[in-house]
Chain A
């Protein structure tokens, strides 16, 4: 039985915590959040202890794994602390705010001989796994042109820190990094990126962000990626991927969903309809559960983690190069 401490009881912390309900060989025994009500509420699901200070979780001797779900600008600090306390670490993406921090995190984990994985959960999404399966089966021939979309609502409307470039890096670093990691995993190293967007033009944290990235891979594949934080809370989040090859084309679109719930909400005396899309999956293939399950398996068996930390560092490098390309308005080679 692995004993888990969760740091950060916000949106993704709650998603992760709920996954442990269907992982029998792990138990959440401690939760920390800077907002006490949040840690208390999440801890109550498991009868776990709750804390305001993350250090109190990290220093507990009876914890094997620390699951870090705090904003990006805190990742490196907590990962390094947890590693030094000899805890295995699963940390939310993106790895860090900058490349140097990413290297320090990897060094800390390897020095302390702990498993360290960045939660690039897209690799566990069944539709993206299917995309790779289709490519590997050769059904579309050699993949050549790829288009991805990710986004919808601007997360800064609900969590303001997303809207500050020095805290989240913006939508490319925070969100598009999912697609960047998936594409680099699937098609190999990136040769060149060119990005246009409004990261540096936005004035307020709540201002919409919209970025368009062109990417050329070493193997000749060309990709176009959309990173969209232009919507409000009611905008439907979605992701799409299309891969055109020498023999065919395959596309996945999360806006095609099996279930849509329509609710009538009272809003200032006016009834408004809210549409909530759902795509239900069993815990076997539910991506967040699968990701955590596979990470914990590698901890238990002392085997290779499913998303190598260097892959996450690479995705971060590519994302940072995209942002730099936007700043200098030039195509840039991805140099490590």
Chain B
């Protein structure tokens, strides 16, 4: 199977390309990146071919699928172009910056009979899979409430340019946790209340946010979606869940499998992560769903619903009230 990378705006392209290399039978078609310096550096770093125009990858009949890692606002055009070129698509999260774009992407992939998967690798983290299993087994009884975090360091670059990103830490960090909760509860978010602010960094988008949500199944949850980790923090951020149920409670830290590294080359300690590579596990599943013509493990609709919650959070901030679907 031949897979191309469209854009490396998003840093996850780095780990995706390395993960793809580890999957048997996958051949990497190259990187299409209009920024020549960045694209060539990327191609050189990973030993793959460089194309300035991604259309050159799409017009190659031997290419089966693409991984889209452009800035959020460019997902829609690239996905629709890829679908029309009959390429299966896995697109970086969030699926898009508007519901309309997300829907057009879903429609285009359906019309052209190609897969559309949204990159939610956290589902593939074994501690998170185990968390779902424990909840599914009813070990915690009925779930009462959940306090989740998806913290990060401030990524800078296009992430802080609303025209390209659609927003700041909310649109960047809400979708992962919302996806996990939707996936576990098989229930949609019906109410959202959010607080946000540009509190830490001098940037034009929000860097701090708390989002309170209620699902159709009456479970309530909050999410801290903030770029509040300083540069000196020992890792990029976190994904954690604290879950209270009628029969028990559970604390999950998706990235707790790490040691601590101290080096005189840096002025602070660093986590040395030793757990599974969730990007690799996700991409393997993407390849399998194409090979075996299975339903996408994470659908465009999943991406759209997670995006909807992030947009509801913005609406809640704007109107300063609880937003109901």
Contact = CB atoms under 8 A, between A and B. Distances in A.
Contact of B228 (A145, A235, A331): A145
A15 to B, nearest CB: 25
Interface of B is mostly: strand
Contact of B145 (A198, A245, A329, A331): A198
Contacts of B191: 329
Interface in B201-223: 201, 208, 210, 212, 214, 220-222
Nearest to A242: B228
Contacts of B79: none
A247 interface: yes
Interface string A229-251: 01100010000000011111100
B220 A230 contact: no
A216 B249 contact: no
Interface residues of A, number: 34
A245 B212 contact: no
Interface stretch (A1-9, A218-226, A288-296, A306-314): A218-226
Given A149-B242, A194-B193, A247-B230, A214 B212 contact: yes
Contacts of A226: 147, 242
Contacts of A64: none
Nearest to A331: B193
Contacts of A140: 230
Contact of A211 (B145, B210, B248, B249): B145
A196 B244 contact: no
A144 interface: yes
Interface string B231-245: 011000000001011
Chain B interface extent, by class: 20 to 34
A231 B199 CA distance: 35
Interface in B223-278: 224, 226, 228-230, 232-233, 242, 244-246, 248-249
A222 B200 contact: no
A249 B228 contact: yes
A235 B149 CA distance: 22
Contacts of A210: 144-145, 244, 249
A193 to B, nearest CB: 10
Contacts of A248: 230, 232
Among B145, B232, B242, the one with the most A-chain Cβ atoms within 10 Å of its Cβ is B145
Among B224, B232, B320, the one with the most A-chain Cβ atoms within 10 Å of its Cβ is B224
Interface string A142-172: 0011010100000000000000000000000
Contacts of B38: none
Contacts of A94: none
Interface string A198-224: 100000000110111010100010101
Nearest to B151: A244
Interface string A16-42: 000000000000000000000000000
Contacts of A59: none
Nearest to A144: B199
A211 B147 CA distance: 9
Contact of B249 (A194, A220, A224, A230): A230
Given A212-B220, A329-B322, A331-B321, A228 B193 contact: no
B229 to A, nearest CB: 7
A13 interface: no
A102 interface: no
B210 A214 contact: yes
A222 to B, nearest CB: 5
Contacts of B321: 330-331
B200 A231 contact: no
A208 B246 contact: yes
A197 B200 CA distance: 29
B197 interface: yes
B244 A214 contact: no
Interface in B84-124: none
B2 interface: no
B10 interface: no
9 contacts: A210-B145, A214-B193, A220-B197, A226-B147, A228-B242, A228-B244, A244-B226, A246-B201, A331-B321
The 3 closest A-B pairs by CB, nearest first: A210-B244, A230-B244, A244-B228
Interface of B: 144-145, 147, 149, 191, 193, 195, 197, 199-201, 208, 210, 212, 214, 220-222, 224, 226, 228-230, 232-233, 242, 244-246, 248-249, 320-322
Interface of A: 140-141, 144-145, 147, 149, 194, 196-198, 207-208, 210-212, 214, 216, 220, 222, 224, 226, 228, 230-231, 235, 244-249, 329-331
Given A145-B200, A230-B249, A331-B193, 8 more contacts: A141-B200, A144-B197, A147-B224, A194-B193, A198-B145, A208-B245, A214-B212, A228-B249
